[in-house]
Structure 1
């Protein structure tokens, strides 16, 4: 993410970074970062923000309310098939 994203005012450059409850997610104060946020604000107006997140679009920041668990995701996923697939890749 080219360090566009800050979590608790620290630059994050790992796409798989795991946030914790009460983490505050913001963008860096750069034109490129602000452009990304503006583009994604349009997306959030079309789609509902999940309950485990809070979006404060006027302040360009978000808050992690809780860690999402597997049961709250409405996807039909067979975890065993995922594990088998990636175990063959190693």
Structure 2
């Protein structure tokens, strides 16, 4: 997660957007950064697939990743 934290610190000098995420949302994002599928994250964390998707949507909103076509938001969340 430190790579993500450093990346966002460079882009947002006013604060760390990752600090707005819950520990569960950070855990889901970290699993996503390790290239796990949503289903694999759900199984690993013992939560439903819909819970993973809800957490990811919150992450995307907190990181201001718009609902646009043509971009893969999970990849943008990790790379941004």
TM-score band w.r.t. shorter chain: under 0.3
Q: Which has the higher contact order (CA 8 A, sep 6+)?
A: 2
**Which structure has the bigger radius of gyration?**
1
| TM-score for the superposition, normalised by structure 1 | 0.24
More strand by share: 1
